């Protein structure tokens, strides 16, 4: 069975500091991977997607970047956090593109002070 | 890009009654419509979905209806229980260029009153 793990579970960071969030999926080879962001009490917004190692596409510009260094790993990062980066970051996976099910990881709660 | 409207934003129902959430979308190319349930502090969980080649789908107490002409879809929870209380999101997707992008509605907070 596939498992998706995100780290850290939660972070409290200062404005202007760097950030790195990770996502690992086990049990599926070559999944499509996605990063979503959710403001507290708000809806989910897709940030990035990746269909293969080394290839990441940006969907919205939020002064964040993403990378896929391994088939099962997806990293979200920034060199300088903004207050507006606070929220819930969710990694998701699907088998292939084309309107198929997406499953979310447990998420990382980020608070920027 | 796609936009999804979801109503109501807040829904309170009596235990045992039905709850209905309605969504509309704009892009006629969207072909996949999932529903997610999110409990406080948790990740969204896929509870039911429907594809554009269907008009109705039921899983136990969950019913999803899709009207492609009107670009509307809806979730109906029959015989609601307190455990159904949560945030519910509808979404629409039509893969473009390899991105299975889900566009979400604004969410509905469902409260089931015992």
Q: How far is CA A84 from CA A7, A11, A38, A44, A59, in A?
A: 20, 14, 11, 15, 17
Q: Is A57 in contact with B99 (Cβ distance < 8 A)?
A: yes
- pLDDT for res A97: 57
CB within 8 Å: A44 and B31? no
Determine whether the interchain pair B34/A97 forms a contact, defined as Cβ–Cβ distance below 8 Å. Answer: no
Whether A110 and chain B come into contact, CB under 8 Å, resolves to no
A101 has a chain B CB within 8 A of its CB: yes
Distance separating alpha carbons of residues A59 and A76, to the nearest angstrom: 13
Taking alpha carbons only, the member of A69, A65, A73 closest to residue A24 is: A73
Burial of A79-102, coded b for 16+ CB within 10 Å and e otherwise, reads: eebeeebbbbbbbbbbeebebbeb
Q: Do B32 and A107 touch (CB under 8 A)?
A: no
Asked if residue B14 has pLDDT above 60, the reply is: yes
Half-sphere exposure (Cβ direction) of B25: Cα atoms closer than 13 Å: 28
Question: Cβ–Cβ of B32/A45 closer than 8 Å?
Answer: no
How confident is the model at residue A45, as a pLDDT? 95
Which of A42, A99, A104 is nearest residue B43 as measured by Cβ atoms? A104
When pLDDT is cut at 50, 70 and 90, the band that residue A98 belongs to is: low
CA A2, CA A28: separation in Å to the nearest integer? 6
Q: Yes or no: say if B110 and B97 are a contact pair by the CB < 8 Å rule.
A: no
The answer to whether A49 contacts chain B (CB < 8 Å) is yes
Please state, rounded to an integer, the average pLDDT across all residues of chain B. Answer: 95
Those residues whose C-beta lies under 8 Å from the C-beta of residue B91, and which sit 6 or more positions away, are: B4, B33, B34, B35, B36, B102, B103, B104, B105
Q: What is the pLDDT of residues A5-47, one digit of tens each?
A: 999 999 999 999 999 999 999 988 889 999 999 999 999 999 9
Question: pLDDT of B20-41, one tens digit each?
Answer: 999 999 999 999 999 999 999 9
């Amino acid at each position: 069975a596939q498992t998706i793990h995100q780290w850290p579970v939660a972070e409290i960071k200062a404005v202007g500091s760097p950030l790195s969030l990770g996502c690992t999926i086990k049990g599926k080879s070559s999944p499509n991977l996605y990063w979503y962001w959710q403001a507290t009490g708000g809806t989910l917004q897709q940030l990035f997607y990746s269909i293969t190692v080394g290839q990441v596409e940006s969907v919205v510009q939020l002064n964040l970047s993403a990378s896929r260094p391994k088939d099962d790993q997806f990293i979200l990062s920034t060199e300088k956090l903004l207050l507006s980066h606070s929220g819930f970051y969710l990694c998701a996976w699907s088998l292939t593109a084309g309107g198929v099910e997406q499953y979310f990881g447990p998420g990382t709660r980020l608070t920027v002070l | 890009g796609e936009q999804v409207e979801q109503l109501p934003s807040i829904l309170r129902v009596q235990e045992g009654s039905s709850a209905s959430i309605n969504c509309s979308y704009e892009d006629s190319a969207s072909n996949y419509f999932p529903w997610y349930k999110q409990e406080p502090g948790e990740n969204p969980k896929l509870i039911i979905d429907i594809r554009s080649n269907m008009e109705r789908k039921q899983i136990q107490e969950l019913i999803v209806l899709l009207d492609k002409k009107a670009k509307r879809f809806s979730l109906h929870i029959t015989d609601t229980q307190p455990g159904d209380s949560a945030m519910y999101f509808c979404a629409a997707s039509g893969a473009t260029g390899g991105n299975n992008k889900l566009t979400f509605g604004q969410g509905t907070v469902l409260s089931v009153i015992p």
